[in-house]
Amino acid sequence: MSWTKEGLQELVKTKLTDRLFAVVSNREPYIHVSSVDEIQCVVPASGLTVALDPVMRACGGVWIAHGSGSADREVVDDKNRVSVPPDEPCYTLRRVWLTKEEEEGYYLGFSNEALWPLCHIAYTPPNFDEAHWNTYKRVNQIFADAVLEEVGDSQAFVFIQDYHLALLSRLIKARNPQVITAQFWHIPWPNPEAFRICPWGEEILDGLLGNDLLGFHIRYHCDNFLETVRRMLESRVDNERSAVNRGGTTTLVCPFPISVDFHRIARDAAKAEVTEEMEEIRRRWELGDEFIGIGIDRLDYTKGIPHRFRALDKFLAKYPEYQERMVFFQLGEPSRIHIKKYKELNAEIDDLVEEINWKYQSANWKPIIYVREHLSPTTLLAFNRLAHFCIVSSLHDGMNLVAKEFVSSRTDEDGVLILSRFTGAARELTEAILLNPYATDDFAESIRKAIKMPKEQRKARMRKLRQAVEENNIYRWAGSIISELANLGL
């Protein structure tokens, strides 16, 4: 049976009864920015917020997050709250303010220069800076204060998101032990050998074990976590129950593969404005009957973008008959640009695009069109529908929602997904063409296979992919977490 928004609402009503439902994350789901003479509301390019927004729309409650937009302060009330989504307000966004120095130390510094590379193992070494770590601890306390202000001394259920807030649950429970917390870690958890280089590893593990429930995308990450705890902390790891007992409290550690709102994406993709946008894209880039490939990413070194370009280069060199017959659109928004590694990645991508286009281009054609900007959901859906194939080539990815969005948008049951084996999504989307992005020759062959795949096969595979996402949708993800908490005696 497929989970629905209504099913989740029913579950929340019966299981959470009158508890306040609070989500906490670093990134906010809606950012207000000032542009010329008005305030715009932007949906950030973030897998986490894209996934959680439909859950909040269904459950209501309060979402506590860092207010990062230039006009964020202008739209909140005196309690720093604003109702969202703007088109149909149904939950409260409570903004937390951070200074530039706090943002640098906690977000860019410890979260993204230390924990992100530590957990992804994509051959970018983590940078452990004690000043960043101290700021990280301080900012976790700032978030805890905001949560406690929202929940008071009620028996709330606080759902903490991701690696920015590893210390939060204990800080909340120290002042209100009635609160129940679950935390979802959206990125991979590495093996103990990789994790043990973190100088504050024990404090991070202890912080996470403040939760009643801790979730990862796949069993493999749960096992890595349990093994890390077993080697690094004094505690009792119960492998059978997949739980850790430490100092009299128990944390259950379970996999919950995150997903998207399948039906909403399918519905939105069929809207007239998306069809118009498809025509606009065809006009703007003077597209004819070329095979169209797409890549949509937050520009991050874990997404394997240079690897995909090298494979496209190989493909065009080995199969010159596809020159002038294929166009690849690389779409995506620059991210974390103040970190040196990301600056280097952007430069590498620019160089590769220039080099490959120079090598193959003719008067009216070039193989790669690089659109490096924030695109609207309508434009992304239009590209998803136009594409003959979509490439997701992450070197390591907790889940990867781009793959699931592509599949959900293909109501025509056409299009081929080329997907890295190193994504969580590859465990469910087994009808995709699965590959190792480091193996450039095989990668080039996969592109050829996608282009040459007969229509019947494309349809049969896409039907199965769609079934998988429809069944394991975002409501199942949230519903499973809430049910698991209920079993714990919530």
Determine the residue with CB nearest ligand GDG: 47
CB of 287 to ligand GDG, least distance (A): 20
Long-range contacts of 487-490 (CB under 8 A, 24+ apart): 488/212, 488/213, 488/252, 490/15, 490/16, 490/19, 490/157, 490/180
Comparison of 318 and 374: residue with beta carbon closer to ligand GDG:
374
Query: With CB under 6 A as the contact rule, which of the stretches 88-96, 190-198, 393-401, 408-416 interacts with ligand GDG?
Result: 393-401
118 phi and psi, to 5 degrees? -60, -40
By the rule CB under 6 A, 382 interacts with ligand GDG: no
Comparison of 172 and 395: residue with beta carbon closer to ligand GDG:
395
Kindly tell me which residue out of 5, 186, 458, 476 binds ligand GDG, with binding defined by CB under 6 A.
Answer: 186
By the rule CB under 6 A, 24 interacts with ligand GDG: no
CB of 273 to ligand GDG, least distance (A): 15
CB of 123 to ligand GDG, least distance (A): 17
Comparison of 188 and 315: residue with beta carbon closer to ligand GDG:
188
Kindly tell me which residue out of 25, 26, 46, 68 binds ligand GDG, with binding defined by CB under 6 A.
Answer: 46
Asked if residue 246 lies in contact with residue 209, where contact means CB atoms within 8 angstroms, the answer is: yes
User: Considering only residues 284-343, where is the footprint of ligand GDG by CB under 6 A?
Assistant: 296, 298, 332-333
Query: With CB under 6 A as the contact rule, which of the stretches 194-202, 237-245, 401-409, 451-459 interacts with ligand GDG?
Result: 401-409
CB of 317 to ligand GDG, least distance (A): 29
Kind plus residue range of the DSSP H or E element containing 58: helix 47-59
Question: DSSP assignment of 74-103, as one string?
Answer: HH--TTSEEEE-TTS--EEEEEE---HHHI
By the rule CB under 6 A, 381 interacts with ligand GDG: no
HSE-up (13 A, CA, CB side) for residue 84: 29
Query: With CB under 6 A as the contact rule, which of the stretches 31-39, 47-55, 193-201, 202-210 interacts with ligand GDG?
Result: 47-55
Q: Is the peptide bond before 85 cis (omega within 30 degrees of 0)?
A: yes
230 phi and psi, to 5 degrees? -55, -40
d(Cα 21, Cα 23) in Å, to the nearest integer? 7
Locate the DSSP E strands across 149-308. Answer: 157-161, 180-184, 213-216, 236-238, 243-246, 249-255, 291-299
Calculate the CA 184 to chain-centre distance.
12
Q: How far is CA 249 from CA 199, 242, 446, in A?
A: 25, 14, 49
Kindly tell me which residue out of 8, 48, 156, 158 binds ligand GDG, with binding defined by CB under 6 A.
Answer: 48
By the rule CB under 6 A, 261 interacts with ligand GDG: no
By the rule CB under 6 A, 167 interacts with ligand GDG: no
CB of 26 to ligand GDG, least distance (A): 12
Q: What is the identity of the amino acid at 470? A: E
221 token code pair: 């990450």
d(Cα 438, Cα 420) in Å, to the nearest integer? 10
Q: How far is CA 142 from CA 20, 163, 174, 186, 450, in A?
A: 20, 16, 14, 22, 49
Kindly tell me which residue out of 64, 265, 391, 401 binds ligand GDG, with binding defined by CB under 6 A.
Answer: 401
Comparison of 338 and 452: residue with beta carbon closer to ligand GDG:
338
CB of 121 to ligand GDG, least distance (A): 13
By the rule CB under 6 A, 45 interacts with ligand GDG: yes
Kindly tell me which residue out of 47, 109, 207, 415 binds ligand GDG, with binding defined by CB under 6 A.
Answer: 47
Block residue for tokens 């040459």: 452
CB of 40 to ligand GDG, least distance (A): 13
Query: With CB under 6 A as the contact rule, which of the stretches 33-41, 193-201, 394-402, 457-465 interacts with ligand GDG?
Result: 394-402
d(Cα 175, Cα 178) in Å, to the nearest integer? 9
Block residue for tokens 């409570």: 94
HSE-up (13 A, CA, CB side) for residue 316: 21
Calculate the CA 203 to chain-centre distance.
25
Comparison of 316 and 380: residue with beta carbon closer to ligand GDG:
380
Query: With CB under 6 A as the contact rule, which of the stretches 310-318, 398-406, 460-468, 477-485 interacts with ligand GDG?
Result: 398-406
CB of 28 to ligand GDG, least distance (A): 14
By the rule CB under 6 A, 410 interacts with ligand GDG: no
Comparison of 122 and 171: residue with beta carbon closer to ligand GDG:
122
Kindly tell me which residue out of 51, 208, 229, 281 binds ligand GDG, with binding defined by CB under 6 A.
Answer: 51
Q: Which residues bind ligand GDG (CB under 6 A)?
A: 43, 45-48, 50-51, 186-187, 258, 296, 298, 332-333, 374-375, 377, 380, 397-402, 405
